[in-house]
Chains A and B, each alone.
Chain A
Amino acid sequence: DTEVTQTPKHLVMGMTNKKSLKCEQHMGHRAMYWYKQKAKKPPELMFVYSYEKLSINESVPSRFSPECPNSSLLNLHLHALQPEDSALYLCASSHAPGTHYEQYFGPGTRLTVT
């Protein structure tokens, strides 16, 4: 199984809502990532988890809160978002942290903040 799954596929939320994005992989990968991608732009790294511990936070606003409950699951909790946070949120995983491992991406969650 070389698949990364993400739910939901689409999400519309108001600025006062709290919602969560979920990501799952069963490849035994020990590094997991959240990226944000705006239309016609490249993905931008948000967070990296290495062995279930947060290892990189790219100065992401606190209204985005990541969580890694176990080695297969990655969540992104959303609260009090702004319309400019509307984007495609991509989850990825790799065998381990490090430069030489390819990343496997999920299909993304299309988020719209109204």
Chain B
Amino acid sequence: SQQGEEDPQALSIQEGENATMNCSYKTSINNLQWYRQNSGRGLVHLILIRSNEREKHSGRLRVTLDTSKKSSSLLITASRAADTASYFCATPPAGTSGSRLTFGEGTQLTVNP
């Protein structure tokens, strides 16, 4: 069953602007991960945030996690054309095998030069 749902489904911005994507999930989690996928290619891990963390940074990426609202957001600051990709949140639901990752539907980000 679908664990993560993301919005917006698609986002188009200009270079230099910030992009925010949101992910909501249904059951309790141990951690939440964000991945990026360039068109038709493999996924690249961006960041992992544990359930006891509220915010995490990596370069131009900022991820927040609100377990009370069962939601997470990914902020990309000062976007570049190379950030154009699909972004997925993924969760291994608590109480299930830790190797089982369920991906959200994804947000397609287009950064226009």
A104 at the B interface (CB under 8 A) = yes
A98 touching B43 by the CB < 8 A rule?
no
Q: Can you list 12 contacts pairing A with B, beta carbon distance less than 8 Å?
A: A33-B99, A41-B105, A43-B88, A45-B100, A56-B99, A90-B42, A99-B30, A99-B31, A99-B92, A100-B30, A102-B33, A107-B42
B25 at the A interface (CB under 8 A) = no
Query: What's the tally of chain A residues with a CB closer than 8 Å to chain B?
Result: 28
A108 touching B99 by the CB < 8 A rule?
no
Residue positions of B touching A, CB distance < 8 A: 30-31, 33, 35, 40-45, 48, 50, 88, 92, 97-106
Given known contacts A103-B45, A105-B42, A105-B44, A98 and B106 CB-to-CB distance under 8 angstroms: no
A-B contact count (CB 8 A): 64
* Cα-based distance from A33 to B35 in the complex (angstroms): 16
Residues of A within 8 A of B44 (CB): 105
